[in-house]
Structure formats: structure tokens, C-alpha cells
Amino acid sequence: MLRYLIAGGAIAAAAAAVAWWVTGQKPPSVTSFRQPAAVDLARGEALYGEYCSSCHGADLQGQPDWRTAGADGRLPAPPHDETGHTWHHPDRVLFDYTALGGKEALAKDGIEFDSGMPGFGEALDDQDIWNIIAFIKSTWPERQRNVQAERTAADLAGS
Ligand code: HEC
């Protein structure tokens, strides 16, 4: 029985690898950290509504009591507006978090963390992830936008 289970798992993994190869879909670990010069804010807003607002809120307000972990130990979805801390993070972190999900993004930095943030690297291509991030940024007041831009510049210079 066990042998069949293992064989089944190997076949499923091989099928997934072939699907990637055939469709040309990127594996989720491939990331690019620079926001493209051209972004589509209207598309980013629409995709935000489709993929993100169920947790982060239609008005980017996040979930209630977002600083307090729930019974499962996971934190609720934080706001993406200026009352949250999304603007504290450089582009690389925002992109990674969205593409890979919280658990995998933090694992890259050697941090083990159970996160309720799913990865969207297979559902969305890089440009659309940037379109969403650019839309989120466009809602921030100037101060938050400037701080985030400085942190991104410092992060890119250091990497
Ligand atoms: C199923 C609920 C859910 C959905 C849908 C979701 N998120 Fe999240 N997100 C979370 C949670 C929960 C966190 C807090 C994560 C943690 O504790 O790691 C989070 C955190 C984040 C962070 C880190 C934020 C910060 O302020 O530090 C970013 C960036 C993010 N999400 C972007 C997005 C984007 C963009 C989308 C849509 C493409 C999205 N999320 C969809 C649940 C969700």
C-alpha cells in the first residue's frame, strides 16, 4: 500500500513539473524585484478586488484586530492603507509576499512562520502582481509613498 502511495506522489510531482514546462508557467520561486516603469493602475485595482479584497478589505482596511493572532496562531490580514505597515516594506518584500505567500517568503530569510497569506505566483503573472502593488501604493498619502520609495531604493542598493 505504502509503495503505491509513494509512486502516486512521484507521478503527481512529475505531472506538475511537466505542466510547468509545457505551459511555460514560471515556478513560483522566480521573482523580479523592480516595479516596471509601466503599470496599469485600473487593472491593478480590479485585480485587487478580485484576489485580495476578501481578506484585506474592499477599502484596504484589513481585518478587525489585525495585530492579534487568532486561535490558530495566525495573524489576520493587515490593512494595506496608510494605517497598516505595508508601506514599511521595500518592493522586494511586497512582491515576494504576494508571489510566494507569507510562509515561503519568510522562509527565504530563514524565518519559520505560519502565515495566512497565500501565494499568488501561479494565479497572477509578475506584471499583474506589480499592477496590484502599484494600485495599493497609489492610495497612500505622499509621506507613506516617499518612505516606501526610500526603503526600496536602500534595499536595491544593498542587494
Ligand atoms: C486568504 C486571505 C488573504 C488573501 C486573499 C490575500 N491576503 Fe495578503 N495577507 C493575508 C494575511 C493573513 C496576511 C498577514 C500575514 C502574515 O501574518 O504573514 C497578509 C499579508 C500580506 C502582505 C504583507 C503585508 C504587510 O503589511 O506586511 C502583503 C504585501 C499582502 N498580504 C498582499 C496581498 C495581495 C496583493 C493580495 C491579493 C493578490 C493578498 N494579499 C490576498 C491574507 C490574505
Same domain, 36 and 100: yes
At 112, which CATH number? 1.10.760
Residue 98 has pLDDT above 90, yes or no: yes
Q: How many domains does the chain have?
A: 2
For residues 133 and 47, the answer to whether their CB atoms sit within 8 Å is no
Q: What is the pLDDT of residues 4-55, one digit of tens each?
A: 544 444 444 444 444 444 554 444 444 467 889 899 999 999 999 999 999 9
Nearest CA owner, ligand 1 atom 35: 98
Same domain, 3 and 64: no
Burial label, 28 (beta-carbon count in 10 A; 0-12, 13-18, 19+): middle
Domain that holds residue 85: 31-158
Map grid coordinates 509576499 to a residue: 97
What average pLDDT does the structure give for the chain? 85
Same domain, 21 and 65: no
Read off the C-alpha cell for 151. 526603503
Ligand 1: distance of its center to the CA of 9 in Å? 30
In short, whether 132's Cβ falls inside 6 Å of ligand 1 is yes
pLDDT confidence bin for 86, thresholds 50/70/90: very high
In short, whether 75's Cβ falls inside 6 Å of ligand 1 is yes
Same domain, 63 and 138: yes
Same domain, 22 and 42: no
In short, whether 85's Cβ falls inside 6 Å of ligand 1 is yes
